[in-house]
Structure 1
């Protein structure tokens, strides 16, 4: 039986993280070829190297046995991510963490990797002084919405619309406690 773990990503993991992102996006955005083409147009490996080295966020890597299966990017939320639609900041803005990305390669789904990633990221955010977390999820991404709801995170009423050039994607902001009890 393989052991599942979460660890800090290193720059040597950038290529694998880029691969996981590509595979996950191919499954999630198959109907948006422009989004996949945009991903191909950038040097994803270099972008992940930069993200891993960025001092204000942490990249975690989920593994199962010898395989890299998912990743999560977390850090203290920038004011622009915490503000409401009018730009007003909540009282706890400086103590709010952001889960900027959490992806698990589809073939490794439903094995607890996302929960382990979120739990580890939440612990890291608490160590940075965060008291609650936020994340943006596509309004039609029912599996991700269900995952966050099971973790106790719910929509806070804030919505944003992203323009992909082909269509728009409506995202809802979820928020919840960083004291998670995920298995």
Structure 2
């Protein structure tokens, strides 16, 4: 394997982040989300959203050799993302971070996701975060397994999104931020 690293995303990474977002969703969620929804993902529109997160320093990219192969966005969790099912907030709501990791499937199982999550959690700890959460489609066993290896487990909170007229059930996983890379 070529040299693999993780670094903070730069503005010139935005187009590739948007492409990875589109391509990964089209591959990983083809059985969960209607094809017309996946085909409607617009890279230019998505890039505008990612540009804002990159400017805030909330995005990290995984690079292998000269290729950008995945990314992680991590920042303070909005109240509606961290709230209990009854709407109440946990005691640590102010120090809970929202995290999302995407690695292109063709680059999977090479440690990129773990490096992304470990780097993001290190930055989150330095910023005062104490816990992380992520939302994962309930049927996405690969992502649930990935977070499980980091000792992030489902906390019992479920939400259902409208995915182009098809319900998409997601579970929330949560865990600590003291992640270390295996050597």
* TM-score (ref. length: structure 2): 0.93
- Aligned ranges for residues 167-182 of structure 1 at < 5 Å? 167-182=166-181
> How far did residue 41 of structure 1 move?
7.8
Change (3 A) 1:109 1:119: same
Q: Look up the match of 2:72.
A: 72
Q: Look up the match of 1:43.
A: 45
> How far did residue 42 of structure 1 move?
5.8
Q: Look up the match of 1:117.
A: 116
Change (3 A) 1:41 1:112: closer
CA contact (8 A) 1:135 1:174 kept: yes
Alignment partner of 2:41: what SS?
helix
CA contact (8 A) 1:97 1:130 kept: yes
Alignment partner of 1:26: what SS?
helix
Q: Look up the match of 1:139.
A: 138
* TM-score (ref. length: structure 1): 0.93
Alignment partner of 1:43: what SS?
helix
Between the aligned partners of 1:176 and 1:51, the Cα distance in structure 2 is 22
Change (3 A) 1:42 1:10: closer
> How far did residue 49 of structure 1 move?
1.4
Q: Look up the match of 2:9.
A: 9
CA contact (8 A) 1:29 1:35 kept: no
CA contact (8 A) 1:34 1:166 kept: no
Between the aligned partners of 1:38 and 1:46, the Cα distance in structure 2 is 16
Gaps in structure 1 of 5+ consecutive residues: none
> How far did residue 38 of structure 1 move?
3.1
Gaps in structure 2 of 5+ consecutive residues: none
Alignment size in residue pairs: 180
Q: Look up the match of 1:165.
A: 164
**What is the CA RMSD across the aligned residues, in angstroms?**
1.4
Between the aligned partners of 2:118 and 2:62, the Cα distance in structure 1 is 12
Which stretch of the first structure deviates more once superposed, 30-39 or 87-96?
A: 30-39
CA contact (8 A) 2:76 2:95 kept: yes
Alignment partner of 1:147: what SS?
helix
Runs of at least 4 residues off by over 6 Å: none
Once the two structures are superposed, residues 126-148 of structure 1 have per-residue CA deviations (whole angstroms, 9 ceiling, x without a partner) of 01101111100010000000011
